[in-house]
Amino acid sequence: MSTKLFPAIAVWVLRIIAAIIMLQTLFFKFTASDESVYIFSQLGMEPWGRIASGVLEMVASILILIPRTTFFGAVLAIGLMLGAIGAHLTKLGIEVKNDGGLLFIYALIVFVSSAILAFIYRQEGIRLFRRIFLKTTSL
């Protein structure tokens, strides 16, 4: 789907940016890198929070890359990134283990990319909402 405001190539760039950032963090989460273990220990969510967030980020990335499911992946990614941004702002700090704020910046980039994608693909969400909640029952 493209619009006059967002040509197809721009939409694909947003998809790829969000997916690549989330997918590249999976290696660190699934191999229990020191930084990932530290982050989730600080949040009181080690190891299950680290593993669950990795699985959910993998699902969000896959959904974002499939045009028919982009809306759902974007909404999932928005929720995940709100959690990451909130953790940085409340418990972790912007900079974690001298990363120069890179993880925080990545979370912001994925959040913004996903928010734009969710807006562009909002009609898919509206259609699903109508299908589920506004079904008319025939007697």
- Of 63-77, 80-94, 96-110, 125-139, which gets the smallest average pLDDT? 125-139
Mean pLDDT of the chain: 92
- Number of Cβ within 10 Å of residue 113's Cβ equals 23
Helix axes 48-65, 34-42, angle to 10 degrees: 110
Question: If we measure between CA atoms, which residue out of 115, 116, 87 comes closest to residue 103?
Answer: 87
pLDDT band at 101 (very low <50, low <70, confident <90, very high): very high
The residue ranges of every structural domain in the chain are 8-133
Q: In the predicted model, is pLDDT for residue 133 greater than 90?
A: no
d(CA 69, CA 6): 18
**pLDDT band at residue 7 using 50, 70 and 90 as cut-offs:** confident
List pLDDT tens digits, range 59-86: 999 999 999 899 999 999 999 999 999 9
Cβ-contact 102, 95 below 8 angstroms? no
**From the CB of residue 94, how many other CB atoms can be counted at a distance below 10 Å?**
14
And the tokens for 36? 């990932």
pLDDT at 10: 93
pLDDT at 11 over 90: yes
pTM: 0.89
CB neighbour list of residue 115: distance below 8 Å, 6 or more residues apart: 74, 78
